[in-house]
Amino acid sequence: MDYESELNESQYRAVTTIDGPLLIVAGAGTGKTRTLVYRVARLVETGVRPESVLLLTFTRRAATSMLARAASLADSRCQRVSGGTFHSMAYAVLRKYAELAGVERSFTVLDSSDTEDLIDLLRRQMNFRGKERRFPRKRTLCAIFSMAANKLMPLGDVLKRYYPQFAREKGDLEQLLNAFESYKRERQMLTYDDLLVRLRDALEENQELCQRLSEQYRYIMVDEYQDTNRLQAQIVRLMTAAHDNVAVVGDECQAIYSFRGASFKNMLEFPELFPKAQLIKLEENFRSSQPILNLANEIISDASESYAKRLFSRMTEGEPPMLVSAGDENEQSRFVAERIEELREEGVPLHEIAVLFRASSHSFDLEIELGKHGIPFRKFGGIKFAESAHIKDALSFLRVALNPADTLSWFRALKLIDHIGDATVQQILDHLGIERREFRTVRAKESLFNRLKQFPARASYKDQLIKLAHVLRTIVEQKSPHAQLSTVLRLYRPILKSRYDDYPRRQRDLEHLQAIAKRYKSAAELLADVALDPSDAAQRDGRGSGYVTLSTVHSAKGLEWNTLFVIWMTDGWFPSSRSVEEFEDLEEERRLLYVAATRAKQHLYFTYPLGAYRGGMPDAPPVVSRFLEFIPDTILSRATLM
């Protein structure tokens, strides 16, 4: 391939600078992703073993599509390059080198709702209630603990800095954290954060592992480096100990994940971690027309911590972005739907159109309206398939069968039976001796599940409990996750119907889950994939092109569309009213809007409803987002729907 004609001069330099540490700093749409794709292709073409190249991205979806592009551009061997998120890579490494890393190979991955449930369970057991003071709720607890892990900060510092209102609970929180950590360790459960922490610890403590990993991965690339955290930076440093071959790309203006412990300071600190680092800047935007970039520059130039970059493009022609005020929410939805219909008639393919919003619930009304207009759409972000209750219910049986020490899943499965609550589950687990023994072999598991039938059960739930025991026994013997799910569903379907009014929808989800399960040979793989990728696993199939994309701005990162709508540009919604108090939070909202605006290639609309609607800023009439309010008409034209 002729790399020089496909890339501009600095991109070409980034692609051909192969050895040693490299920091690529670049604005939106300047070809960072393209550069990484070509860099992968180039490495493979010059004879580097594809398996020794590692591409770390923000979602697994991004990695898959980048590798597919590299393969189609150059060499099909690019498909064999290792790609994924830090978390999926950590999972793979911990499984592969379980002994060296000091974990059981059969460890369970807890997704965020499992983690919340576990913390809730422990909090209740430790009984912090009854106190006058308010104790943080489970979501907040997870966020606090996660922040400490990802920012490498002691709990006390996290409290002082981000949660001063709970600083007085430090003692109790530390106690809870300790209980949480030992509970997970005893049962070989790893949260998302643990995947990274345990990998880091293993790399630090075990020279051999460190050595073997740096040999396995000779060339490492990290996309979206501005949204990595310090823990991830440590991992990158340790994994490249033997060769320093690492290229990271990022844009400080697009840092939008600080709520998850990420910090764009990683970009600034990269040269300290890798003193030999070369710096390459990409400046020309290839995505958007200049009028769109003018608006983006305007949004970000108001930033109080002024970023020096200004985006420019050779596509100087184009209409300026438009700000449209609607009477109420539904008028906003109708405007978007009707405009999409017009575009469709003009021949714009639906996959070149997207609607973005700050929070996933903001699109509910639009979803109904698009339905009425017969416009197919797909939604990204928000509630995840794998985190809905019915999917977790069904999978909890597979988890128990795989790892009977997974008490969390026992609670979930047993409590599906009427008249069994927390107390009864605990009695059952005591009866089974779950906490004391190990159950690895099929034999041991079978006799365990048989013992379930001998539990002195009350008449009110005895029959159901025996059925459940039978289901568990059966699925231990079954190999394929598809067959196992069929067994589970025989028990679970009636329960589903009695519990949920909207069971037809949920039943369809379960059928979908079964279809997904067909792709897997073992329950362990299925469960890991579902946990590591709670939304994608369900959406991987059928990447058709005949639909409009609806997405949170966060999930739209790195993507681009010809025509873009950003809805709910009402102050209090975007920026979110919860982020306007703290300066740093507000700046992150601004960067978020910058990310949104720079997704558009040619047409960009912002809409906001004027009609009174509760929420956002209570008791105040809705006004347009402070980020757009004072932008001159020449840069952002205005229209009102009537």
Ligand X SMILES: Nc1ncnc2c1ncn2[C@@H]1O[C@H](COP(=O)(O)OP(=O)(O)OP(=O)(O)O)[C@@H](O)[C@H]1O
The answer to whether residue 266 forms part of the interface with DNA (CB under 7 A) is no
**Residue 626 to residue 261: CA distance in whole angstroms:** 26
Q: Which of 361, 441, 450, 640 binds DNA (CB under 7 A)?
A: 361
Parallel/antiparallel/unpaired status of strands 284-285 and 278-282: unpaired
Q: Of the two residues 387 and 560, which places its CB atom closer to ligand X in the complex? A: 560
Q: Which is nearer to ligand X, 296 or 550 (CB)?
A: 296
- Return d(Cα 211, Cα 188) in angstroms, integer: 25
Among 85, 234, 325, 474, binds DNA (CB under 7 A): 85
Q: Out of 154, 156, 371, 421, which residue is the one contacting DNA (CB under 7 A)?
A: 421
In degrees, to the nearest 5, what angle opens at C-alpha 299 toward C-alphas 293 and 304?
135
With CB cut-offs between 5 and 8 Å by kind, which of DNA, ligand X, none does residue 29 bind?
Answer: ligand X
**Which pair of structure tokens corresponds to residue 58?**
């923000």
In the complex, least distance from residue 566 CB atom to ligand X, rounded to whole angstroms: 15
Task: Identify the three-state secondary structure at position 90.
Answer: helix
- Using the minimum distance from each CB to DNA, give the nearer residue, 10 or 85: 85
Smallest gap, in angstroms, from Cβ of residue 602 to ligand X?
A: 12
The DSSP element (H or E) to which 353 belongs, if any, is: strand 353-357
Picked from DNA, ligand X, none, the partner binding residue 26 (CB below 5 to 8 A depending on kind) is ligand X
Q: Which is nearer to DNA, 229 or 602 (CB)?
A: 229
Show the binding pattern over residues 552-571: x = contacts DNA (CB under 7 A), - = does not.
Answer: x-xx----------------
Write the DSSP string, 313-363. Answer: ES----PPPEEEEESSHHHHHHHHHHHHHHHHHHT--GGGEEEEESSGGGG
| 108, amino acid identity | T
Residue from the set 31, 250, 291, 534 that interacts with DNA by CB under 7 A: 534
Q: How many CA within 13 A on the CB side of residue 523? A: 26
Binding residues (CB under 6 A) for ligand X: these are 7-8, 11, 26, 28-34, 251, 254, 286-287, 558, 560, 598
Nearer to ligand X, 254 or 579 (CB): 254
Nearer residue to ligand X within complex by CB, 26 or 476: 26
Q: Find the binder of DNA among 10, 88, 333, 563 (CB under 7 A).
A: 88
384 CA to centre of own chain: 10
Report residue 579 CA to chain centroid gap: 20
By the rule CB under 7 A, 599 interacts with DNA: no
Please give the DSSP secondary-structure letter assigned to residue 107. P
Contacts of 145 (CB under 8 A, 6+ apart): 119, 155, 177, 180, 193
Which lies closer to ligand X via its Cβ, residue 100 or residue 296?
A: 296
CA nearest to 550, candidates 430, 377, 428: 377
- For DNA, the closer CB: 535 or 598: 535
Residue 251 Cα distances to 32, 282, 505, 597, angstroms:
9, 10, 41, 15
**Selected range binding DNA among 66-74, 152-160, 380-388, 444-452, rule: CB under 7 A:** 380-388
- The verdict on whether omega for the bond into residue 575 sits within 30 degrees of 0, i.e. cis, is yes
Task: Give the chain's length.
Answer: 642
**Using the rule CB under 7 A, is 112 a contact of DNA?**
yes
Reading phi first (left if > 0) and then psi (alpha if -120 to 50, else beta), residue 130 is in left
Q: Choosing among DNA, ligand X, none, which partner's interface includes residue 621 (Cβ < 5 to 8 Å by kind)?
A: none
Which residues here bind DNA, judged by CB under 7 A? 58-60, 85-88, 111-112, 129-130, 137-138, 192, 256-257, 259-260, 358-361, 380-382, 384, 415, 418-425, 532-535, 552, 554-555, 576, 578-579, 615
